Each structure stands twice: as C-alpha cells, then as structure tokens.
C-alpha cells in the first residue's frame, strides 16, 4: 500500500492586472514552448493559450492533447508498476525509506519538469500567481490548500492497507472502484460539475471493466482464502474510496479554478505528506497491532526490529519502482488538471489492461478471457464520455 501514494497537483492561472499582462508577455518570449499544448499560441504552462491563461480554465469535458498524453503516461506507469515492485522491492525493504524517497524523487521530478518548460521565469511565475488574483504563494496558502489533501491521502493509504488485510482481493478491488462514482459525486458538490446520462453510463462501464479484470483474484477458494470482514474491511475500503473522490474533486477545483500550477502543488504535497507520515505512521502502526492477536503483534514487532536500518533490503535496482511511482504522481496531477478527476479514474482502469499485457510479455502469463471484454468496454467508455458531455 505504500506504493499507492499518488500525489496530486494543480496548475496556475495568471492575474488579470496590467502587471500580470506584462509578465505574461515577457514569459512568452523567454520560456520554451511545451511539447504538448492546446490550440493557439502556447504559454509556458502548456495546454492553454496565452489569452486563456488570464482566466481560470473552463469547466467542460474537452480533452486537450496534453491531457490525452498524460492519460497514456499514467496508464503505462500504473500498468507496469506491479511488475517493477515485484521484481525490485523485496519483503525486507524498510517501507518508511520507500515512502520518504518516493516523495523526494517526486519533488525533484516536479521541479525539473517545471524548469524544463519555462526556466526560472516560469518558476517565478508559479510563485507569483500561486493564488490567482489573491496574490503570490505563502506558507499560509500552502497549508490551507495542500495540507488537508496531504492528510487525506495519508489516511486513505492507511485505510487501504488496513482493509486489504480484511478482505478477499476481488471484493477489495470491486469496492475500491467505487471511487469513480464518488469522484463524479464530489465534482458536482464542489464544482457543480454535472455528468450527462451517457457519461454516467461510461463510468459504470469502466467499473464493469475493472470488475472483469479483477475476477481472477477471486478464484482462490482454498482454505487460506481471505474472508471479507464488513466492519474491518468493507467500511474502511469505502471510506478510502470516498476520500479519493473528495480529494480528486478538490484538486480539480484548485487546478482549474483557483490557479495553482501543477508542479508547484505537487512539490507542496510532497513536503506536507512527508511531515504527515511521521505523525500518522506510529499511530497507524499502533492501531493496526492492537487489532492483531498477541502472537501476531509480537511477530510484527520482531519484524520491525529486524529491519531497523533505513536502507535495509536495498539494492542498486530498488529505486527503479520508486522513481516510476514518483513519476505517476506527476502524471496524476497533470491528468486531473488537463483531463479531470473522472478521466484519471479511467486511466487507472485502463492500466489494469496494460498490466495484463505486460505480464503476458514478461512472464508469459496467459491473457484472461475477461480481458477481451474489458478492453472494448474501456475504449467505448472513453469515447462515450468524451462525445456526450452534459448540456444545460
């Protein structure tokens, strides 16, 4: 579950004052044009024209080339993450070191990508326009926007970790996919973002595809098969899905409405999540051990004592899946900003198909028959969602 940290992020919007217009003009000359951008003359942020950067992005269902590109990146990253984790991270690796280095890598990647798109001029603009018309970045604004989300993601990851130990894998995956519904629900609550009836159908199609791709995990009927506990399994899982939808909706609000640049917000979340981890980890560990029997708790304590070294279990290849997962945090933020929170969920479900193909290529694992149904469902759901937006 430590590999599920997926940090979210936001993008900025320029101020409407005369000073902002002059700054934008100078940046157009100084900053490099990004690889993927929207129609018209691109600004240093990418994905929007200079004129559109003056106002918050429209709350619509259009998918920019940049959004589609990062959806593909997220699906690929999420798809091969399980294979990289299995091959490169052993059971003896200190889990705290994984989380800390993941946030460090993510922070560094966000800064490098921000600098590569516009240099120091774009970095200065990210700070100056972090709060849109409200002014430049401050520690107070960071705590107000990023700290609550960092806390929510820390709690969400612990809830997923706890529920996974009290549910069979199939039920765990099925319940967790309800986050697509929660995302659409909270987008309506937070941003008044309506979904058309066809878009709701597309969401359920993606949930059906996820269910099909998870069915193999539920075929284990042996004596060691994990039973599902409603109180200690289903309820925490639903709570984690609810938090995921709520956080995705608020992240989309910050990215598309309040004007905070994606890479900057990612770096903020990295710092706040790391600090929060030092607080929540001892509490969560103590709470989890309290639910175990005396022997299991003693075994867990012994295992923790045996891996006291910060780099315990590390090899030269251990950072590879950590770097990959850190990149996933960057991709997630870009997808939410340029494609929306619902499409982020679509990309994650599509990644399950990618995992099946990667396992076939790398391990020779036969493709499941369900994949031939799930794949058209994924494609069809994306087409329906894009072509049947809500119209007032």
Average pLDDT over residues 112-119: 88
Number of separate domains in the chain? 1
Has residue 52 been placed in a domain?
Answer: no
pLDDT (tens digit per residue) in 380-392: 998 999 888 888 7
The span from the CA of 326 to the CA of 317, in Å, is 15
pLDDT (tens digit per residue) in 44-55: 333 333 333 333
More confident residue, 95 or 83: 83
Q: Could you tell me the pTM of the whole model? A: 0.70
Rounded to the nearest 5°, which phi and psi values hold at 253? -65, -45
Give the C-alpha distances (Å, rounded to integers) separating 6 from 1, 236, 332: 11, 19, 7
Has residue 61 been placed in a domain?
Answer: no
Has residue 62 been placed in a domain?
Answer: no
**Helix, strand, or coil here: 49?**
strand
Has residue 351 been placed in a domain?
Answer: yes
The span from the CA of 87 to the CA of 368, in Å, is 22
Please report the pLDDT score of residue 301 as a whole number: 62
pLDDT (tens digit per residue) in 21-31: 444 444 344 33
DSSP class of 311? T
The span from the CA of 371 to the CA of 381, in Å, is 15
Range picked from 88-102, 128-142, 160-174, 242-256 for highest mean pLDDT: 242-256
Look at residues 249, 255, 274 and name the one whose alpha carbon lies nearest to residue 147.
274
The pLDDT > 90 percentage for the chain reads 13
Has residue 325 been placed in a domain?
Answer: yes
Q: How many whole angstroms from its chain centre is CA 171?
A: 22
Has residue 374 been placed in a domain?
Answer: yes
pLDDT band of 307, cuts 50, 70, 90:
low
Please report the pLDDT score of residue 313 as a whole number: 79
Has residue 180 been placed in a domain?
Answer: yes
pLDDT (tens digit per residue) in 320-353: 988 998 898 899 888 888 888 899 889 988 888 8
Token readout for 94 is 């200190």
Has residue 59 been placed in a domain?
Answer: no
State which residues form the domain around 235. Answer: 2-15+71-387
């Amino acid at each position: 579950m430590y590999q599920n940290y997926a940090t979210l992020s936001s993008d900025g919007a320029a101020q409407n004052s005369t000073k902002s217009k002059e700054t934008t003009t100078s940046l157009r000359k100084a900053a490099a044009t990004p690889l993927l951008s929207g129609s018209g003359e691109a600004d240093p942020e990418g994905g929007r024209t200079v004129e559109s950067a003056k106002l918050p992005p429209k709350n619509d269902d259009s998918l920019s080339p940049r959004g589609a590109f990062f959806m593909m990146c997220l699906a690929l990253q999420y798809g091969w993450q399980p294979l990289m984790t299995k091959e490169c991270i052993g059971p003896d690796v200190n889990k705290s070191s994984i989380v800390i280095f993941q946030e460090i890598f993510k922070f560094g990647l966000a800064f490098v990508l921000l600098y590569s798109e516009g240099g120091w001029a774009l970095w200065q603009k990210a700070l100056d326009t972090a709060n849109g018309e409200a002014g430049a970045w401050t520690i107070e604004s960071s705590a107000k926007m990023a700290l609550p989300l960092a806390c929510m993601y820390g709690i969400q990851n612990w809830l997923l970790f706890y529920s996974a130990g009290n549910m069979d894998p199939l039920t765990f995956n099925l319940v967790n996919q309800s986050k697509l519904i929660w995302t659409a629900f909270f987008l309506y609550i937070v941003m008044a973002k309506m979904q058309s009836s066809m878009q709701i159908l597309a969401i359920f199609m993606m949930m059906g595809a996820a269910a099909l791709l998870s069915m193999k995990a539920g075929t284990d009927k042996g004596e060691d098969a994990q039973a599902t506990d409603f109180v200690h399994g289903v309820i925490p899982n639903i709570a984690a899905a609810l938090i995921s939808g709520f956080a995705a909706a608020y992240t989309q609000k910050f990215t598309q409405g309040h004007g905070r640049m994606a890479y900057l917000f990612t770096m903020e979340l990295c710092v706040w999540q790391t600090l929060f981890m030092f607080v929540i980890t001892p509490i969560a560990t103590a709470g989890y051990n309290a639910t175990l029997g005396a022997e299991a708790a003693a075994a867990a304590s012994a295992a923790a004592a045996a891996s006291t070294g910060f780099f315990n279990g590390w090899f030269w290849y251990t950072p590879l899946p950590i770097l990959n997962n850190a990149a996933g945090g960057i991709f997630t933020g870009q997808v939410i900003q340029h494609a929306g929170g619902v499409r982020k969920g679509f990309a994650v479900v599509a990644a399950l198909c990618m995992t099946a193909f990667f396992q076939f290529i790398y391990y020779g694992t036969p493709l499941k028959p369900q994949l031939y149904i799930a794949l058209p469902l994924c494609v069809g759901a994306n087409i329906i969602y894009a072509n049947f937006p809500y119209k007032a």
